[in-house]
A and B are shown apart, each in its own frame.
Chain A
Amino acid sequence: MPSPSASKTFSLQLLEEIYQKKQQEFALKFDKVAPTTPIRDPRPTPEPERDEIFAKLEAAAASLSIMPEKELLYLEQQVSDLLGFEISSSLDGQRLTHSFGKMQALDEFTLQPTQFETVASVRGAAIKRGRPSLGWDKQFLDKNEKQYLLANHLVLLEDWHQKYAHYKNWYKWRKLLLINPFNRIAVVVELASYTLPNPMQFQFGGSPDLIRASQAWSPEAQGLVCVFFIPDAVNSKPGVLKL
């Protein structure tokens, strides 16, 4: 007599959910120590088409204006095809204050209480008193590792004052792709601060490593960049991509 099927109770979907959760936890814990590998091979795009895409990105970054939704979606699709992985100006219904704008060159982000030996706000302990806006960094911080960190003045979001606690968690260490279309350089960055010293003049702020790697302040770019979300963040590591 065959065994009753009711005894087979485990759900494959539940197992998949457990796996996804474990994978996310693992990525959060060990992202910094994972070996750096290119995200994926970009698809071959004909040169004239590449030029057209970069021209569009340059125009969008230079105008600092909000692009019509349809045009933006089409541009996102074109850039995703060019890169070989998906990018998007919104994720789970959330957006940055801007997708195109000017990036301010900021000082080193203080992400760990004992990051700088010279910092001694708390007497005798070499601990900095002020916490960064999105909290201290993950547990692994290699001093020699390049830090591609971005700031966006999220306080300007329409409903920030109502949902700031939820937003802080959601945006913290969110992986983003910063593109300098003028020099054709892209950098996978992490959002590390929700405030900017000068939010009326700049839309983004970048750590020194990011400013150098993205060449954002080259004579051509003059600080103008494009920033997108990376939906498949688990598989992307902070680093530079030549386009």
Chain B
Amino acid sequence: MTTLWFEQYASDALYNSVIDGFAADEQMVASEKLLMILELAAREILLVETEDEYLAEVAELLSSKDAAEITDWLSNQPLSITDSLRERLDRTILQIQAQLQV
């Protein structure tokens, strides 16, 4: 299965804890949907951290979904950005988990 560019920044344990909460026959769909939410969160944090003059370029790169190119670009970004990305993705999973438990 192809790894998406943002997956390496999300905690597997947290991710699995949400997916395990769904019925077995719904886990596949839930997994796809959760990944879509995480991608939005990842794109959001990267766009927020990007300087205005590069916004359009970064938006285009992120929406291309080209994992190799995005990973390469991310590897050249400051550590603080990838740290923010990790923190934000984990927080998003926890928020979704809380919303699903209502």
Contacts and interface: CB of A to CB of B under 8 A. Distances in A.
Interface in B63-102: 63, 96, 99-102
Given A15-B96, A18-B96, A19-B33, A8 B56 contact: no
Interface in B33-76: 33-34, 36-37, 40-41, 43-44, 47, 52, 55-56, 59-60, 63
Contacts of B96: 15, 18
Interface string A8-26: 1111101110110011001
B55 A33 contact: yes
Given A12-B30, A15-B100, A34 B59 contact: yes
Contacts of A16: 33
A10 B100 contact: yes
B44 A26 contact: yes
Interface string B18-41: 100111101001100110110011
Interface residues of A, number: 21
Contacts, number: 62
A220 to B, nearest CB: 35
A124 interface: no
Chain B contact-residue range equals 20 to 34
Interface string A117-161: 000000000000000000000001010000000000000000000
A34 B63 contact: yes
Contact of A10 (B21, B24, B36, B43): B21
Given A30-B47, A33-B47, A8 B23 contact: yes
B47 A22 contact: no
Given A23-B40, A34-B59, A12 B21 contact: no
B97 to A, nearest CB: 9
A140 B55 contact: yes
A139 B88 CA distance: 21
A5 interface: yes
A9 B101 contact: yes
B66 to A, nearest CB: 13
21 contacts: A8-B23, A8-B24, A9-B100, A10-B22, A10-B30, A11-B100, A12-B30, A12-B33, A15-B30, A15-B96, A15-B100, A16-B33, A18-B100, A26-B40, A26-B44, A29-B44, A30-B59, A34-B63, A35-B56, A35-B59, A140-B55
7 tightest A-B contacts by CB?
Answer: A10-B21, A35-B60, A8-B23, A33-B55, A10-B100, A33-B59, A10-B22
